[in-house]
Amino acid sequence: MTVLLTLAQYRTNNKNKSTIKCRVTYYKKRKEFLTGQFINPTNWQSKQQLVKPPEPDAELINSQLSLIRTKLNQAFLFLQVRDIDFNVQDIYKQYKGDYGAV
């Protein structure tokens, strides 16, 4: 499983801020979703997948992004421990807390 954070530059709000999206890939299948974090596109470091200053609340946003990665990894490990077949959709459902779906 891989987790990639990217900037959705085509989606800007009325303050010209772009949202950060997350893409989970598992066995060549993808699931993308928006993180709900909005930043100035010039403050995004794509290689590190982090927000850099002078973005207000850069540290808080980076913590939120780290938490998203951690929760996705936990969902993936939980499904692996159950020793059942699962796909990227199941990982996302587990991440969102929809336990009944798997």
* 11-24: pLDDT as tens digits: 788 899 999 999 99
**pLDDT (tens digit per residue) in 65-92:** 999 999 999 999 999 999 999 999 999 9
How many independent structural domains does the chain possess?
1
Mean pLDDT for all residues in the chain: 93
Query: Structural domain of residue 8, as residue ranges?
Result: 2-101
- The pLDDT of residue 96 is above 60: yes
Strands (E), 1-101: 2-12, 18-26, 29-39, 44-45, 50-51
What does the alpha-carbon distance between residue 56 and residue 60 come to, in Å, rounded to a whole number?
9
